[in-house]
Amino acid sequence: MAIRFKLDRVMFEKRNMKIPELQKLSGVNKNTLYSLYKGEITRFDVSVIDRVCAALDCQPGDLLEYVKESPKFVDSADDEPIDF
């Protein structure tokens, strides 16, 4: 995925906060926060980002990072992707 969540970094830099504390401050479900923290989420509710930003006193851009993916090409001989 080209978008990476930086919740782990922001939690550490802002307040050295743990997930249970962020859950109490934001009211966001613990499982949702863990998914954001581990980067396992593919889409999110804007209200979740709003509550996390309010709890961490940060901007949405602090939580998200665009990571350019390198193109993958398939070698027709063995149908395996090739990274360039």
Model pTM greater than 0.85? no
Angle CA 16–17–21, to nearest 5: 160
Report the CATH number at residue 46.
1.10.260.40
Structural domain of 29: 3-68
Tally helices (H) and strands (E) across the chain: 5, 4
Query: Can you tell me whether residue 16 is helix, strand or coil?
Result: coil
79 within some domain: no
Confidence band, pLDDT 50/70/90 cuts, at residue 22: very high
Give the pLDDT confidence score for residue 78 in this predicted structure.
61
Q: Based on the structure, what is the number of domains in the chain?
A: 1
73 within some domain: no
* Tens-digit pLDDT profile for residues 49-73: 999 999 999 999 999 999 887 776 6
β-partners of residue 3 are 66
Half-sphere exposure of 19 (CA within 13 A, CB side): 11
